[in-house]
Each structure stands twice: as structure tokens, then as C-alpha cells.
Amino acid sequence: MDKPSFQPSILWQWGDVRCHSYVTDGRIQFLNDCTHDLAGQTVDLPEYLKNLEVESPNGKEEAMPEIFNEGDQVVLKPENLLGVQANVVMNTPQGVVCVITSDDHPSGHSARGTLVLLTADELKKK
């Protein structure tokens, strides 16, 4: 968890934004085909925050509940990944990181071992 490495590369597209990177020894190398400001740069991986504190309606801070736990088996719901099976790797403030475990999806970037970051509402427990 301190200096993770992920292989193969991580590629995601959100509208016109493309992010293609490698994570090695806790550093993110953003490749030149990225369309955001970090293209071509290498930066430290942000510290992962477990038990993120959020303010509740009554003004007291409470731990954010985790909907999915590490190792949970899930099925992905986004249209381009519909039905692809994965395991939860970790929860982050940005979403849930999963690693694809099935081989039955036609997309080259949705093959077994690919990491994806999705929101909790884009996942369904298997």
C-alpha cells in the first residue's frame, strides 16, 4: 500500500479527457497521449485515505461507510463494460478501484487484469 505498482498501463476515457498512465513504486507516469495537464509528467501517488471523515447533517464528523470491501466480487454496470466481472481492490475518495477478472469482454482495455475506477452506483455485488 505504501509504494504500489500496477501493470499493465491504466487507460481511462471520460468524455474528451483521456488518461493513460503507469504506476510504479508509488509514482504515476502520465504518458504523452493523455489529454490533461499532467501529460508527460511523473508525480507521487496521492496518499490513500481510509476512513475518510465527512460531516454529517447533524454537524458531527463520521467515518464514511464503505459500500464495497476489498476482495468483493462485482459485476460492472457501465454500458461499455456491462457484465464484466471484477474484484474490488480499494475504495478511494474518487470511487472504487476494481481489477477485471473475466476474459469475456471484447474491449482490449477491458481484459483480465485491467484496473478500472468506477463509482459505487456503477457496480453490483456478484
The values of phi and psi at residue 108, to 5°, are -65, -25
Q: Look at the chain and report how many structural domains it folds into.
A: 2
Query: Structure pTM?
Result: 0.49
Domain interval for residue 6:
1-47
Per residue, the 3-state secondary structure of the chain, as one string, reads CCCCCEEEEEEEEECCEEEEEEEECCEEEECCCCCCCCCCCEEECCCCCCCCEEECCCCCEEECCCCCCCCCEEEECCHHHCCCEEEEEEEECCEEEEEECCCCCCCHHHCCCCEEEECHHHEEEC
Do 74 and 118 share a structural domain?
Answer: yes
Of 25, 20, 18, which is closest to residue 2 (Cα–Cα)?
25
Tell me what percent of the residues of the chain surpass a pLDDT of 70: 77
List, for residues 71-89, the tens digit of each pLDDT value.
889 988 887 788 888 888 8
- Asked if 74 and 123 sit in the same domain, the reply is yes
CATH number of the domain that 116 lies in? 2.30.30.30
- Joined together, the cell numbers standing for residue 5 give 505498482
Residue 27 resides in a domain = yes
Tell me the pLDDT tens digit for each residue of 34-73: 998 889 999 887 765 444 444 445 555 544 445 788 888 9
Residues 86 and 124 grouped into a single domain: yes
Task: Please give the Cα distance from 93 to 100 (Å, whole number).
Answer: 20
